[in-house]
Amino acid sequence: MSNRRKIKLTVNGQDYERETETRTTLVDFLRHELDLTGTHVGCEHGVCGACTVLVDGISARGCLMLAVQAAGKKITTVEGLANPDGSLNTLQQAFMDNHGLQCGFCTPGMLTTLTEFLAHNPDPSETEVRIAISGNLCRCTGYQSIVAAALQAARVMREGKS
Amino acid sequence: MGAKWFGASVQRKEDPALLTGRGRFVDDIKLPGMLHVVVLRSPHPHAAIRGIDKTRALALPGVHAVVTFADLPESMRRQTVPLLVPNPAIKQVYMPYCLARDEVCFAGEPICLVVAESRYVAEDAAALVDIDFEPLPAIADCADALAPGAPLAHRDATSNLGAHIPLDVGNVDAAFAAAAHVFRERIFQHRGGPFFMECRGMIAAPDPATESLTIYVSSQGPHRHKRVLLDLLDWADHQLRIVTPDVGGGFGPKGSFYAEYGALAAAAMALRRPLKWIEDRQENFLSTQQERDQYWDVEIATDADARILGIRGKLVHDSGAYMPWGVVLPWIAATTVPGPYVIPSFKLDVLCAFTNKVPTSPVRGAGRPEAVVVMERLVDRVARELKLDRAEVRRRNFIQPAQMPYKVGIIFRDGRPVTYDSGDYPVCQQSALAAVDYENFKARQALARRQGRYIGIGFGNAVEATGLGPYESATARVATSGRITVYTGATPQGQSHKTTLAQIAADQFGCTPDDVTIVTGDTAATGLGVGSFAARTAVNAGSSVHLASKEAAHKIRQFAAAMMEVAEGDIELENGFAKVAGSDLKRSFREVAAKAVGMPGFSMAGGPLPGLEATSHFTPDQSTYSNGTHVAEVEVDIETGQVTILRYLVMHDCGHVINPMVVEGQVVGGVIHGVGNAFFERMVYDGDAQPVSTHFGDYLLPLATDSPNVEVLHMETPSPLNPLGLKGAGEGGTIPAIATLMAAVENALEPFGVHIAEAPITPQRIVELLGEAAKGRTK
C-alpha cells in the first residue's frame, strides 16, 4: 500500500488539495507543503503548544496530528486570524497593546488557544485565563502580559457585542 | 531637539508581523534546491569511535551524503573550534572538532551530518549509519570529577581540572582570625538550560555566482560566528555573509558557536546545495549549552555588630566536556558575590571541572543568580544567628551612594578592577520593603500561622555588571529616497531592539520610530559587531545608534544649510524635512540625500564628507552596574511541599529607561525564569552522565499557572559612563529571584527549623527537608 495519500482540506478559508506522505505531521504539512510558516514547531511532543491550530474550531497540536487526519477539516492558523482588511483583530491588538509577545515564537499557539477559549468563555477571570494557556510554554514574557492581553481582548469583545 | 521618543512606552515595531504569522525565523526560509540535514549525535557520554560505516544509509533513496570528520576540509581537520576567550586561569584547553574525530565526550556530541531530500528521509537514514563505538568510563558530577582516580572526561587529559581561578582580596585570614562570628554554608546550585522556544537552526547556502557562502542562523550575534568560520574555512572576509533572521529566544547559549555550524558550512560548499539543519527539541536537551551545577563551600566572618569582615571559600563549577566560553561563567559568578555590600576581604578558589556532559555557558544571569544566592544566604544566616532583622544586617553592610564610584577590590577577567559606577542600594532596599509593608509582615505571618498557614517573606539584593564592551556597531544612513536605516551588530532574540533603537535614532532625526528601520545581525550590513547578550545592547548599541544618528543628522544640517544658503544652526529636522527656523524654507531628506551623494563631475572637495551616513562603535571604558531588590511572599503547604507565590515585587534600577513597557517585559520575564530555576528546572543525568530529562515532560518550565504577577517599580540612577545614562535591563529580573524565593521558603518554614541551601527546591525536597528537620538532622 502506498504511503502517500491525496487529501483535501480548508485552511484559513482557502481550499487545498495535496498529496502527502501519511507520516507527515499537520504542522510540517502546513509549514513546508502549504508554506504557511506562521505556525511554529517548538517541541514535537505536544507539551509546548507553539504548533497549536484550530481544527473545526477546536484547538489541536499540529505536531501530534497527522496531515491525513485533517482531510476534510477546516483549519485555522495564525495567518487566518486578522480582520478581513488585514488589520489586527481584537486579540492580536490586545497582544500588541500589552506587550504580550517578545520573541514571538510561542505567539501563534497562544493566539489560537485563546481564540478558542474566548469564544467559549467571553468573561473569564485571570485564573481561568492562566489555566487556559497552561498548555502553552512561553520563555520570554512570564505570561503576565499575555494574561493581560487576553483579559483586555475579552473586555473589548464583550463591549463590541453589547 | 529634546528626547521625544526616548523614555516613552512606544508600541513594538516587531509585533504586527509576529502576530499575523509573517515572522521570518530560520526554519521559515526555503531556498531552491535546499537539502535537509540531521546531525547524528553520540548516544554515549564518553566513547572512542573505531569506525563509521555509511553503506546502509547511503543506499536509502533520497539520501545525498553522510558527512564525517574524514570528509571535512583540511582546515577543519587540522583545528578545533577556537576558544575565543582565552585566560591564563585555563589549565587544559579542550574544544571540539566540527565533527567528532575519534572520541566523543558527551551524549549529544555531533558525529555525522546526514543529508537528504527531506528531514524525514534524513532521520530514516541516520538510523542506518553504523558507528563502532568503544564506550569509555564517564564522569558525571563535577565535584566527583576532581577526586583522585576519577574517570577522565577526556582520555588524554592529565586530570579533570580545566581551570583554576584564585581570587584574593585583602587579608582574609586576618579578618577571620579577628572575627566575632564565623558561619559556613555549603550550597548546591543547579541551573538548567536556556530552553528558548525556537530551537537552534542554520541554513548554509552557497552562491555559485560569487563563490561565497551565505548563512542564516538563529543566533545572538553573527559577527563572532563569522570570525570562527573564517578561521575554520581559512577564507577571506568577502567569501562569507552571516545573517540572523527573527530569533525565538536566546538567553545566552544561542551566542555560542556550535561545532555542527562549521560542518554544515563545509558540507554545503562540498555538495554545492543549500543545506538546512533545524535542531529538534531532543537535540536541544542534548546539545545546546546549559549552565548546570555549582558547589559552593563558603564562610562569612563578621564583627560583633554583624558587619562583614570577609568571605572565603571554594566554588566547584561544572564546565561540561568543553569550555566554549573559557572561564567567563564561573568568573562572573565569583566576582558577583560581594554585590551591594562592603566586603573588606574576599578569597575564593574557583575550580572548573570537565565532565562528560554538554558544555556549560552563560544562561540569562550568567552565574550571577548563583552568586546572589550565596551572598544572600550568608547574610540571612548572619541575621538568624545574631537574632537581627534580615533587612537591618543588610543596611549595616551596604555600600553607600557617597562611596560611588566604588572599587570592589576584585579584578574582573579583563584584568581591571571591578568598579561600580553608580547606584543607591540602601534606598532601593528600603523602597522595596516599604512597598510590601515589610514592617507588618511578622504580624501577618503570626496570624497566618495561627490559622495553620505557613507564609514567608524573602528578599535579595543584587548588583549586576551590564553593558560590557568592547563595543557595538551602528551605521545610520539616509537613503536617496529620504528613508532612514540604522544598521547594527546587535542581534535581538525578543528584546525589541528594532523599536528601542529606532526610538533613540528618531530623536536625532526629528522623525518617528516608524520612520527608522533598524537592521540587525547581518555581517554584510556592518563589518564589525559583537551581538546581544550580557545585557549589553542598550549601553553599547544604544550609545552607538545615538552617536551615529546624531552625526548623520548633523550632516543633513550641513548639506541643507549649504543648499539653502543659511547657517547650519538655523536648520531644524522635522518629519523628513530640513527646515529653516522661522521661515517656509525647507528641503526634504530625499533632496538633501541626493545632494550628499554628489554628481559625477561635480567636485565635493572642501565640503562635508559625501553621503548622509555615519558610523559609531561606542567603546565603553568599563561596565555599568544595574541593581535591584526583589521581595517575595510565599505560602508553603507543609503536607505537599507545594509553594505558592503570593506576591512578588521588584525594585529595579537600570539607569535611564528607553522604553518602560519593554523594560517591564524584560524584568517580569526574567523573574519567571528565576521561578523556574528556584522550583522546577533540573537537567537530570544518571551516574554515567547519560541525560535523563530530555523532554518537557521531565524537565519542567514554569507555566502560566505557576507564575505570579510581578510588580515592577523603578529607580533611575543614570550611568555617568555613556551619553544616555543607560544600564542593562535584560537579566536583573532573573538574578536575585532564586535567592529571594529560597529565603521566602525558608522563612515560611522557620517554625520547623528548615534550612534551604540548594536550588532548585522541589515539593518533594521540601517535604524531605521537613522530615529531616523533624528528626533533628537539619542544622
Is A106's CB within 8 Å of B197's CB?
yes
Model pLDDT, residue B2 = 59
List Cβ neighbours of B287 (8 Å cut-off, separation of 6 or more): B39, B41, B108, B109, B110, B258, B260, B279, B358
Can you give the pLDDT at residue B1? 45
pLDDT exceeds 60 at position B318: yes
- A28 to chain B: which residues are within 8 Å by CB? 119
| Percent of chain B clearing pLDDT 90 (strictly above) | 96
Which residues in chain B have Cβ-Cβ distances shorter than 8 Å to A76?
A: none
Per-residue pLDDT at B778: 46
Q: Are B592 and B692 in contact (CB under 8 A)?
A: no
* Whether pLDDT at B779 is above 70: no
The answer to whether the CB of B341 falls within 8 A of the CB of B308 is yes
Q: Each residue of B619-628: pLDDT tens digit? A: 999 999 999 9
| CB < 8 Å from A in window 652-711 of B | 661-662, 664-665, 668-673, 695-697, 701-705, 707, 709-710
Q: Which amino acid is at B614?
A: A
To the nearest whole angstrom, how far is the Cα of B698 from the nearest Cα of chain A?
11
Which of B 475-504 lie inside 8 A of A, CB atoms? Answer: 493-496
pLDDT of residue B776: 74
Q: How confident is the model at residue A162 (pLDDT cuts 50, 70, 90)?
A: low
pLDDT bin (cut points 50, 70, 90) of residue A110 is very high
- Chain A: closest CA distance from residue B495 (Å): 6
Contact flag A137-B696 (C-beta cutoff 8 Å): yes
Percent of chain A whose predicted confidence (pLDDT) is above 90: 97
Q: Enter the pTM of the model.
A: 0.97
The residue-averaged pLDDT of B124-141 equals 98
How much of chain A is helix, strand and coil, in % rounded to 5?
40, 20, 45
Q: pLDDT at position B206, please? A: 97
* Residue B727: pLDDT over 60: yes
Mean pLDDT score, B417-435:
97
Query: Mind telling me how many Å the CA of B110 is from chain A's nearest CA?
Result: 20
Q: Which residue type sits at B479?
A: A
Cell numbers 545592547 correspond to what residue? Answer: B537
How confident is the model over B677-712, as pLDDT tens digits? Answer: 999 999 999 999 999 999 999 999 999 999 999 999
Distance from CA of A102 to the nearest CA of B (A): 4
The pLDDT of residue B777 is above 60: no
CB pairs under 8 A between A and B: 166
What DSSP line would sit under B270-334, residue for residue?
HHTS-EEEE--HHHHHHHS-B-EEEEEEEEEEE-TTS-EEEEEEEEEEEEES--TTTTHHHHHHH
Confidence at residue B211, expressed as pLDDT on a 0 to 100 scale: 86
Distance of CA B487 to the CA centre of its chain: 22
Residues of chain A with Cβ-Cβ distance to B249 below 8 Å are: 102-103, 105, 139-140
Nearest to A139 among B21, B23, B701 (CB): B701
B129 phi and psi angles, rounded to 5 deg:
-80, 125
Of B415, B417, B416, nearest to B338 (Cα)?
B417
pLDDT at A42: 97
> Which member of B19, B22, B496 has the closest CB to residue A96?
B19
Q: Is B234 helix (H, G, I), strand (E, B) or coil?
A: coil
**Is the pLDDT at B769 greater than 50, yes or no?**
yes
Give the pLDDT of residue B437: 97
Cβ–Cβ below 8 Å for B27 and A111: no
- Highest mean predicted confidence (pLDDT) among A75-84, B462-471, B599-608: A75-84
How do residues B432-487 score in pLDDT, each as one tens digit? Answer: 999 999 999 999 999 999 999 999 999 999 999 999 889 999 999 999 999 999 99
For residue B118, what is the nearest residue in chain A, using CA coordinates? A32
**Three-state DSSP class for residue B104:** strand
Tell me the pLDDT tens digit for each residue of B359-414: 999 999 999 999 999 999 999 999 999 999 999 999 999 999 999 999 999 888 77
In the predicted model, what is the mean pLDDT of residues B221-226? 97
> B560-578, pLDDT tens digit by residue?
999 999 999 999 999 999 9
Say yes or no: ipTM exceeds 0.90. Answer: yes
Tell me the percentage of chain B whose pLDDT exceeds 70. 99
